[in-house]
Structure 1
Amino acid sequence: MTETVVSTDRLTKRYGSRAAVDSVSLTVRRGEVYGFLGPNGAGKTTTLRMLLGLIRPTSGSARVLGHRPGAPAATARTGALIEGPGFYPYLSGRDNLRVMARYRGLAETDVDLALARVDLTAHRRSAFRSYSLGMKQRLGVAAALLGRPELLVLDEPTNGLDPAGMADLRQLLVDLAGQGQTVLISSHLLGEVQEICDRVGVIRNGRLITESTVAEVRGTGSLYVRAEPTGTALAVVARIVGDHAVTLTARGIRIDGDISLAPEIAKALVGQGVLLHELRVAERTLEEVFFELTTNESVPAGAGARRTDS
């Protein structure tokens, strides 16, 4: 079984009568990129701050790298970027990192390596105050990378990055996970999350409503058929997949279920003399599923949470 790096058990944070985080139980495993998703104000940053020991939970518990959040044995092996980077404005990017490296007993070679990994070497001597928003964000990620941490916790790390910067960061996070490091990332760019994350947890109103692999959250997808005559095509498709899996829509016939039946459906339609205009697979994006989960009030808080041990 894969080692657990981060776990929470009914982790809760209340501010007066309001529960910012409400009984969240999640698991992050070694070597994976875990996406922590939710609307603004859902409790993502509060949860991450509790995991880093920056704020205390009201109730519940958490373990980070086998220790309580904020314990020296955990913080020494964790790199983090929470709510934007904060640096000395008059120091250069490199000197800012040197200050941090000296405090942690790291070599200057670690500074240069971190700058190179976020493509800031050419700007290492420029004052932080002259950096663009994207460059400041890159330096924040570089600071989190100092000392090659086992766990990387990044809160909206793509803020301010242009498309090229986002692609570079995406590749960096995949590479880190491939080398055995663990990445816990919150982001509102769901297309990016879909590309890089192994598993995701979705939080709404402070409660974790699902936790699973990206593939399982997205589901199996659907088939769409455009054919004439429509009535004949509908009857043929229903005989193969069953009436319950077939829906007539404005875009054609939607078939929910086993998309591997596409060749059989196409063969049957042609065999019945149906004029087949289109047969395509339509997989739901993570963004579509996210909006279903976070805006559909019929989904009860805490429902649908799934765990996999594979």
Structure 2
Amino acid sequence: MDGTVVRAERLTKRYADRLAVDSVSLTVRPGEVFGFLGPNGAGKTTTLRMLLGLIRPSGGRASVLGARPGSPAVLARVGALVEGPGFYPYLSGRDNLRVLSRYRGLSDRAADAALDRVGLGPRGGDRFRSYSLGMKQRLGVAAALLGDPDLLVLDEPTNGLDPAGMADMRRLLVDVAAGGQTVLLSSHLLAEVQEICNRVGVIAEGRLVAEGTVADLRGADALLLRAHPLDRALAVAMQLAGDDAVEVADAGLRLDAEASLVPRLVRELVADGVDVLEVRAAERSLEEVFFQMTGPDPGGPPSAPTAQEVS
């Protein structure tokens, strides 16, 4: 291996005249939580299915754990939940997991441990057909965790969960990565990705438009200053931060400067007779970045709604 758990190079999938995935290249490193972020229909699930060997790419290539996707050696080290989990409806959640455990040469204790890990222990004896959507999703994640795989691939793992369940799932995935396993998850929930992922790949209309840490995607530090009179505040700010680092924005001033400048900036403004109303960090949210990258005018000003979910 070359230090990567997953590597895709110009991975492409075409269905007749529709290009579902268009030359996607990305890397997933050991021990990280990598978030694959994009709107519904952007190509996330199709890409994951190619990486798992469930469908063949139309072009490009990929390697998982140093080998061909879908090969027996790789599948033995990968746990996955892609789209809806499939289980026997007439069996209990515990018995479903035990069937899978025995198939993989694991003990019943492994099934019970996975059930407890996702918070389904008390409901393990209930039939799968009686489970809510969130419970079915938890059971699917439990199945993916069987055998402590080196790589966990999860497609929308918090789908159907209530807010408390989503928080539990996020903590679980962080714990999995902290234990040395690697997590690759797709999501259209911006808050989820921003909170738990080490790095993010953003996909829109089948193309990867960005890859990097959340901090990298959000951009450099900036400060937002509201003061009166504005013209005198502008003169002081330009003197301290530089003419090109200050612009009028949001009924105030935006400074491309680090937070360490704040004490000196405030002192200079007050000394010049300027009333300082507010100074705060003006870091872009991942939501703003996402809509700027995937909107109708990529690179232009974001026109995002305030909701954290992208539909």
TM-score range, shorter chain: over 0.9
Which residue in the other structure is 2:285 paired with? 285
Task: Assess, with a 3 A threshold, how the Cα gap between structure 1 residues 10 and 250 changes in structure 2: closer, same or farther.
Answer: closer
Summarize deviations over 1:66-94 as a string: whole Å, max 9, x none: 11110000011000011121111111000
Letter in 1 for 2:53: G
Secondary structure at the aligned position of 1:26 is classed as strand
Which residue in the other structure is 1:307 paired with? none
TM superposition shift of 1:17: 2.2
Which residue in the other structure is 2:140 paired with? 140
Which deviates further from its counterpart, 24-33 or 255-264?
A: 255-264
- Give the alignment of 1:178-197 within 5 angstroms: 178-197=178-197
Task: Assess, with a 3 A threshold, how the Cα gap between structure 1 residues 20 and 257 changes in structure 2: closer, same or farther.
Answer: farther
Which residue in the other structure is 1:264 paired with? 264
Task: Assess, with a 3 A threshold, how the Cα gap between structure 1 residues 181 and 63 changes in structure 2: closer, same or farther.
Answer: same
Determine if contact 2:12/2:23 at 8 Å carries over to the other structure.
Answer: yes
- Give the alignment of 1:201-220 within 5 angstroms: 201-220=201-220
Secondary structure at the aligned position of 1:96 is classed as helix
Q: Quote the Cα distance in structure 2 between the aligned partners of 1:262 and 1:8.
A: 43
Q: Quote the Cα distance in structure 2 between the aligned partners of 1:4 and 1:299.
A: 30
Tell me whether 1:243 sits opposite 2:243 in the alignment. Answer: yes
Letter in 1 for 2:151: L
Summarize deviations over 1:247-283 as a string: whole Å, max 9, x none: 2234321223434322221121112111111111122
Moved over 4 A (4+): none
Q: Percent identity?
A: 66
Determine if contact 2:292/2:298 at 8 Å carries over to the other structure.
Answer: no
TM superposition shift of 1:214: 1.2
Task: Assess, with a 3 A threshold, how the Cα gap between structure 1 residues 266 and 159 changes in structure 2: closer, same or farther.
Answer: same
Count matched residues.
300
Which deviates further from its counterpart, 265-274 or 175-184?
A: 265-274
Which residue in the other structure is 1:100 paired with? 100
Q: Quote the Cα distance in structure 1 between the aligned partners of 2:201 and 2:267.
A: 40
Summarize deviations over 1:19-49 as a string: whole Å, max 9, x none: 1111111100110000001111111000000
Letter in 2 for 1:203: I
Determine if contact 1:220/1:259 at 8 Å carries over to the other structure.
Answer: no
Secondary structure at the aligned position of 1:56 is classed as coil
What is the TM-score when the length of structure 2 is the normalising length? 0.93
Determine if contact 1:6/1:62 at 8 Å carries over to the other structure.
Answer: yes
Secondary structure at the aligned position of 2:5 is classed as strand
What is the TM-score when the length of structure 1 is the normalising length? 0.93
Task: Assess, with a 3 A threshold, how the Cα gap between structure 1 residues 230 and 200 changes in structure 2: closer, same or farther.
Answer: same
- Give the alignment of 1:107-146 within 5 angstroms: 107-146=107-146
TM superposition shift of 1:181: 0.1
Tell me whether 1:78 sits opposite 2:78 in the alignment. Answer: yes
Determine if contact 1:190/1:287 at 8 Å carries over to the other structure.
Answer: yes
TM superposition shift of 1:241: 1.7
Instruction: Structure 2: give runs of 5+ residues left out of the alignment.
Output: 301-311
What do you get for the CA RMSD once the two structures are aligned?
Answer: 1.6
Q: Quote the Cα distance in structure 1 between the aligned partners of 2:190 and 2:4.
A: 24
Instruction: Structure 1: give runs of 5+ residues left out of the alignment.
Output: 301-310
Which residue in the other structure is 2:155 paired with? 155
Determine if contact 2:137/2:160 at 8 Å carries over to the other structure.
Answer: yes
Determine if contact 1:2/1:30 at 8 Å carries over to the other structure.
Answer: no
Letter in 1 for 2:185: I
Q: Quote the Cα distance in structure 2 between the aligned partners of 1:113 and 1:282.
A: 44
Which residue in the other structure is 1:306 paired with? none
Q: Quote the Cα distance in structure 2 between the aligned partners of 1:288 and 1:260.
A: 25
Letter in 1 for 2:208: L
